[in-house]
Amino acid sequence: MDPDELLVRRAQRGERFAFEKLVERHEQRLYTLAARVLGSREDAADAVQEALVRAWLALPKFRRDARFSTWLYRIVVNAAHDVRAKRREPTLEEPSDPADPRDRFADRELSGDLQRALDALDETYRTAVVLYDVLGCSYAEIAELTEVPEGTVKSRIFRGRTELAALLGTPAEPAESNT
Amino acid sequence: MPEKHPDELELLAYVEEELAAEARRDVAEHLVACRSCAESVRRLEAGRSALRAAPLLDLPVGRREELVAALPDRRDRWRAFRPARRALVVAAPVAAAAAFVGVFVLATQVDLGGGDDDVSGEAAQVAEDAGGGEELGATATDRASGGDATAESAPSAPAGVPVRSVAGTPAEVVRLLEAEGIPAEVVEGAVVADGRAGEVEAALADQPDGPVGVYVR
Per-residue model confidence as pLDDT tens digits over A136-177: 999 999 999 999 999 999 999 999 999 999 999 855 544 444
Check residue A93 and give its pLDDT.
54
Check residue B153 and give its pLDDT.
38
Q: Is position A178 within any domain?
A: no
> Cβ B46–A109 below 8 Å, yes or no?
no
> Residue A57 belongs to what domain range?
1-95
A40 and A83 belong to one structural domain: yes
Q: Is position A126 within any domain?
A: yes
A16 and A51 belong to one structural domain: yes
Residue A107 in this model has a pLDDT that exceeds 80: no
Check residue B135 and give its pLDDT.
36
A79 and A161 belong to one structural domain: no
Please give the share of chain B, as a percent, with pLDDT higher than 70.
Answer: 59
φ/ψ region of A121 (left if φ > 0, alpha if ψ in -120 to 50, else beta) reads beta
| CB-CB neighbors (< 8 A) of B160 in chain A | 13-14
Last residue of a domain, one of B114, B129, B157: B157
A22 and A90 belong to one structural domain: yes
Per-residue model confidence as pLDDT tens digits over B101-153: 554 444 444 444 333 434 333 333 433 333 333 333 333 333 333 333 333 33
Q: What is the mean pLDDT of residues B35-48?
A: 96
> Cβ A133–B61 below 8 Å, yes or no?
no
A71 and A7 belong to one structural domain: yes
A17 and A76 belong to one structural domain: yes
Check residue B159 and give its pLDDT.
62
> Residue B90 belongs to what domain range?
78-157
Query: How far is residue B187's CA from residue B26's CA, in Å, rounded to a whole number?
Result: 52
Check residue B164 and give its pLDDT.
82
In this structure, the number of other CB atoms found within 10 A of the CB of residue A116 comes to 14
B169 and B138 belong to one structural domain: no
Query: How does residue A110 score in pLDDT terms, banded at 50, 70 and 90?
Result: confident
B144 and B86 belong to one structural domain: yes
B90 and B67 belong to one structural domain: no
Please give the share of chain A, as a percent, with pLDDT higher than 90.
Answer: 70
- B60 → closest Cβ in A45, A109, A162: A45
Give ipTM to 2 decimals. Answer: 0.82
A81 and A118 belong to one structural domain: no
Residue A76 in this model has a pLDDT that exceeds 80: yes
Last residue of a domain, one of B71, B98, B113: B71
Check residue B199 and give its pLDDT.
85
CB-based contacts of A9: which residues, under 8 Å, 6+ apart?
Answer: B155, B156, B217
B10 and B61 belong to one structural domain: yes
**C-alpha to C-alpha distances, A104 to A110, A118, B208, nearest whole angstrom:** 13, 22, 61
| CATH number for position A34 | 1.10.1740.10
Q: Is position A103 within any domain?
A: no
Tell me which residue of B183, B195, B189 sits closest to B210, measured CA to CA. Answer: B189
**Mean predicted lDDT score pLDDT of chain B:** 71
**Mean predicted lDDT score pLDDT of chain A:** 86
Query: Which of A54, A115, A130, A161 has the most B C-beta neighbours within 10 Å, making it the best mutation to test the interface with B?
Result: A161
Q: Is position A30 within any domain?
A: yes
Q: Is position A159 within any domain?
A: yes
A73 and A145 belong to one structural domain: no
Count of domains forming chain A = 2
Q: Do the beta carbons of residue A18 and residue A11 sit within 8 Å?
A: yes
Q: Is position A177 within any domain?
A: no
> Cβ A48–B160 below 8 Å, yes or no?
no
A5 and A87 belong to one structural domain: yes
> Cβ B151–A130 below 8 Å, yes or no?
no
A91 and A119 belong to one structural domain: no
B90 and B152 belong to one structural domain: yes
| CATH number for position B60 | 1.10.10
Q: Is position A146 within any domain?
A: yes
Q: Do the beta carbons of residue A22 and residue A7 sit within 8 Å?
A: yes
Q: What is the mean pLDDT of residues A58-74?
A: 93
A91 and A118 belong to one structural domain: no
- Residues constituting chain B: 217
What would the DSSP string read from start to end of B141-170? HHHHT-HHHHHHHSTTS--S--SEEESS-H
Calculate how close chain A gets to B93, using CA atoms only, in Å. 30
Count of domains forming chain B = 3
Residue A6 in this model has a pLDDT that exceeds 50: yes
Query: How does residue A81 score in pLDDT terms, banded at 50, 70 and 90?
Result: very high
Residue A122 in this model has a pLDDT that exceeds 90: yes
A80 and A145 belong to one structural domain: no
